[in-house]
Each structure stands twice: as C-alpha cells, then as structure tokens.
Amino acid sequence: MDDVQVKQVLNTHHNTLENRGRLLVKCVDKPGIVSVLSTFLYEHECNIIESSQYSSNPENGMFFIRIAYHGDNLVAKAAQMEKDFEEVAHTHGMEYKFSYPAQRIRSAILVSQEPHCLIELLWEWQNGDLDTDIVVVISNHETARPMVESLGIPFHYIPANKEIRKQVEEEQIRLMEQYEVDLLILARYMQILTPGFVAHFENRIINIHHSFLPAFIGAGPYERAYERGVKLIGATSHYVTNNLDEGPIIEQDVERVDHRDDVTDLKKLGRQIERRVLARAVKWHLENRIIVEGNKTIVFH
C-alpha cells in the first residue's frame, strides 16, 4: 500500500466518524449516575451506541464509565455540550474527558535497533486499524529509516547514551512540540527516560516491556528466564512513570514454553507477544478505553 492509498483509507474512515463522540467519567459511586449521563446525552439529542461501566465497590467505591455516542451535527454542538456538562460534573464530583474519533491523535514512535514492534504499528496504521496520525519516528539508530521514510513519515536519528541524555531529551521534546505530538509510543526504545521528560507526557507514554511484569525486570530477561526454566513467557505494555517499569499496566499476554525451547526460541516467541501486546495497548488508548486510577488502569475492552 503506497502513501496515496494510505491517505485514502484514512480519509474514508475519518468521514464516518464526524458525528461520533466518547465520554469517560470517574466519580464516587452512588445511585443515579448512569441516569444522569444518559439524560444529559438525550437532552442534547445524542444516541448512546456503546456503554461500559465498573464500580470498585457499590458502597462508596469509585465508579468508572465509558460511553460512545452519536449525534447529528456533533462538530457544531460539541463545544456547547462540553460547557453544559461542567455543571453536571461539578454537582456529582466527576472527573471526565470528552473525545472525538474524528479528531485524530498525533503519535510519535521511539525505536532502537529491533524493529518488530514498529513494523506491527506501521502495518496496523496502514490498514486503518490504528486511529492515529503517526507524525514522526525517532531513533538512536539508523536501522528503521528506510521502512519509515518509504511511508512518507519523517525520521529523525538522534544518537543517545546516558552521558548525553539531557541534550538528547531536549531535542526529543523540541521535536514533540514541532510535530504537536499527543501520544509517545516506545516501540522497544532501549533508553531510560528522565523524570523531567516523563513529566511532559503524563499518562501519554506507552512502553512495551519484554517480560511478564513484575518478573525479570531489567536486562537479559530471556536469558534469565531460560536459566530459571520458566514455563510461561510474556510481555507487558504500560504507561511510563518515574518508577522504572512500574507504571500502570495496560495489557499483558503470555505463551507456554518448555524445556525444548532455547534462548533463541524464547526471543522469537517473545517478539511475537511484544508486537501484539503493544498494538493492543496503543489501540485501546486511541479509542479512549482506558481510565488511570492510581497505579492501575480500568480498560473497557
């Protein structure tokens, strides 16, 4: 699929979403919250097309809900709806977010030498299965440049190591601002991010960890897994926080292995798991299916 065909797929998809909206709400649980929300949408001539909810405890727990809705001329009336909702949210102590699928999130991807997760994301994007615009790819290696530039996506090579980390991150932040990036995806980017960098993108950096966390944190997970004779290997995708590899988990998956599998086998299978776990996590973020609560996530599949 060439660049023109990709744009045609994305434009067709965009036109079908102009009258769609999503609403995420978090508040203390009490009777009538669903009624309040559905009444609000009804009064603004919107039809609920999908609704998922969860209560941590029906007696003074936290209530979480995701509503997808359709409304004629939504583009024209969305701003007024959001203004009207402020009073509802104040009355019921709601944290909330409106989003609109037609307003595509702008994503940047950071990658090092292993391209398998990047390739998966680019494939999903070309097919129209990731509702985002991939506006830039940044790498501390040149490996991925040909595949990225062949799709018309800007590629920036920034050598990185711990001695020049501050200068590297200053340049990365400059590029994030230049390309107006909303979401940053670490597709096997093998550099630790500083607290200052993470603070720029709270709950907007998604990482893939080559292990079923919290097991085998750090370097050489497959070698250590092999030495321990594990029977399951996996991958974890999570939001990045200042606690290394301990941010809110979005998605995990595993595969069964046995004594016949050597380190090479484990790495090959691990790459397959990493690809699909990261793609799912990114997709759910783009579809506004995730609410972060402390160091956990509520994910409405």
Annotated active-site residue in 245, 258, 262, 265: 245
The answer to whether residue 261 is catalytic is: no
CA 95 vs. chain centroid, Å, equals: 20
Separation between Cα atoms, residue 213 and residue 248, nearest integer Å: 11
What token pair was written down for 77? 């009336």
- Residue 244: count of CB within 10 angstroms of its CB: 12
Say if CB 22 and CB 66 are below 8 A apart: yes
Separation between Cα atoms, residue 251 and residue 234, nearest integer Å: 11
Q: Which helix (H) or strand (E) holds 88?
A: helix 74-92
What token pair was written down for 136? 């830039």
Separation between Cα atoms, residue 216 and residue 225, nearest integer Å: 7
DSSP 224-292: HHHHHT-SEEEEEEEE--SSTT-SPEEEEEEEE--TT--HHHHHHHHHHHHHHHHHHHHHHHHTT-EEE
| 3 state DSSP class of 136 | strand
Say if CB 248 and CB 224 are below 8 A apart: no
Separation between Cα atoms, residue 22 and residue 67, nearest integer Å: 6
**Nearest in space to 269 (alpha carbons), one of 298, 234, 241:** 234
What token pair was written down for 248? 């809110």
Which residues are tagged catalytic?
245
